[in-house]
């Protein structure tokens, strides 16, 4: 299973771009990088995912390095509501075809007013 | 789109009773549903994976006779915690996807407190 490494915590000023890094140096060629976030006492919220190309949606942008060993989630204009724990997950394929998400400890992002 | 609901949002019960938690996909048909639990200050841990119409697959260390999972329709899965004890107190979260290789969308979670 490819594992991910994220900084335990980060701060970002409100209105600025929040850049959350993730290392996944053992990722396999057919494994996707997923990002979720969990606001306190709620279920995780899907943000974005990608394979090797950069991706953008209404919530964020995902930048994946060419060697796919790391990625960065970018929240372009952070607001106080973006304060949450952000999880970078490499989707694992098991032998019999089912796939699961393995959550690490994530990055606790705090947006500072 | 991709909304998942859970009911109840919180429950308090006495030790030894059983508790049923429902997970519904509101605007899509979920062929696969997942059940997680999260203890305070810890990350989510997958308990089991269920496909509609078949038996659930449990993760190592999760007792299938204690955590009964039923996925009888494409929009509903239930988790029953049988003979609950205080150590079962946790935050239970479900997720749903169109299939095992699709994006998982999570419910809001159910907080269980066993007295």
Q: What is the pLDDT of residue A76?
A: 96
Check if B2 contacts A (Cβ < 8 Å): yes
Which pLDDT belongs to residue B97?
87
Q: How many CA atoms lie within 13 A of B94 on its CB side?
A: 30
Chain-chain contact of B111 with A101 (C-beta, under 8 angstroms): no
Nearest CA in chain B to A33: B103
Cα of B21 to nearest chain A Cα, Å: 15
What's the pLDDT at A29? 83
Predicted confidence (pLDDT) at residue B7 exceeds the cutoff of 60: yes
Residues B100, A101: Cα–Cα separation, whole Å? 10
pLDDT for residue A28: 86
- The three-state secondary structure class of A80 is helix
For residue B48, pLDDT over 60 is answered with yes
What is the model's pLDDT at position B102?
78
Residue B95: its chain A contacts at CB < 8 A?
Answer: 43-44, 101
Helix, coil or strand: residue A41: coil
**CA B87/CA B95 separation, integer angstroms:** 23
Give the CA count within 13 Å in the CB-facing half-sphere of B79.
33
Judge contact between A52 and A64, C-beta under 8 A.
Answer: yes
DSSP B45-90: EEEEEEETTS--EEPTT--TTTEEEEEEETTEEEEEE-S--GGG-E
Interface list for B 35-74 with A (CB within 8 A)? 36, 43-46, 49, 57
Taking alpha carbons only, the member of A17, A1, A7 closest to residue A87 is A7
Half-sphere exposure of B37 (CA within 13 A, CB side): 18
Q: How far apart are CA A92 and CA A111, in angstroms?
A: 31
**pLDDT 10s digit of each residue in chain A, 113 long?**
568 999 999 999 999 999 999 999 999 888 889 999 999 989 999 999 999 889 999 999 999 999 999 999 999 999 999 999 999 999 865 544 457 788 989 999 999 99
CA distance A14 to chain B (A): 25
The overall average pLDDT reported for chain B is 92
Report, as an integer, the average pLDDT of B62-77: 93
Minimum-distance CB partner of A44 among B46, B106, B111: B106
Out of B34, B46, B109, the one facing A42 most closely (by C-beta) is B109
Q: What is the mean pLDDT of residues B82-107?
A: 90
3-state secondary structure of B40: coil
Taking CA–CA distances from A42, the nearest residue in chain B reads B108
Cβ burial of A13 (10 Å; 0-12, 13-18, 19+) is exposed
Band of residue B55 on the pLDDT scale cut at 50, 70, 90:
confident
A94-98, B66-70, B79-83: least confident range: A94-98
The size of the A-B interface in CB pairs under 8 A is 50
pLDDT at A92: 64
Q: What is the pLDDT of residue A93?
A: 55
Instruction: List pLDDT tens digits, range B9-18.
Output: 999 999 999 9
């Amino acid at each position: 299973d490819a594992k991910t490494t994220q900084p335990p915590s980060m701060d970002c000023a409100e209105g600025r771009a929040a850049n959350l890094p993730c290392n996944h140096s053992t990722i396999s060629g057919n494994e996707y990088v997923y990002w979720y976030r969990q606001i306190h006492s709620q279920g995780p919220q899907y943000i974005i995912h990608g394979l090797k190309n950069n991706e953008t949606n209404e919530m964020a942008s995902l930048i994946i390095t060419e060697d796919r060993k790391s990625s960065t989630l970018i929240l372009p204009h952070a607001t106080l509501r973006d304060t949450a724990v952000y999880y970078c997950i490499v989707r694992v394929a098991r032998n019999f075809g089912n796939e699961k998400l393995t959550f690490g400890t994530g990055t606790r992002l705090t947006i500072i007013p | 789109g991709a909304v998942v609901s859970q009911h109840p949002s919180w429950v308090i019960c006495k030790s030894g009773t059983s508790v049923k938690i429902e997970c519904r996909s509101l605007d899509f048909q979920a062929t696969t549903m997942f059940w997680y639990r999260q203890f305070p200050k810890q990350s989510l841990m997958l308990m089991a994976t269920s496909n509609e119409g078949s038996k659930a697959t449990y993760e190592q260390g999760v007792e299938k006779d204690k955590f009964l999972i039923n996925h009888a329709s494409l929009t509903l899965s239930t988790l029953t915690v049988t003979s609950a004890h205080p150590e079962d107190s946790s935050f239970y979260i479900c997720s749903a996807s169109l299939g095992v290789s699709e994006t998982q969308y999570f419910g809001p979670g159910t907080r269980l407190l066993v007295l």
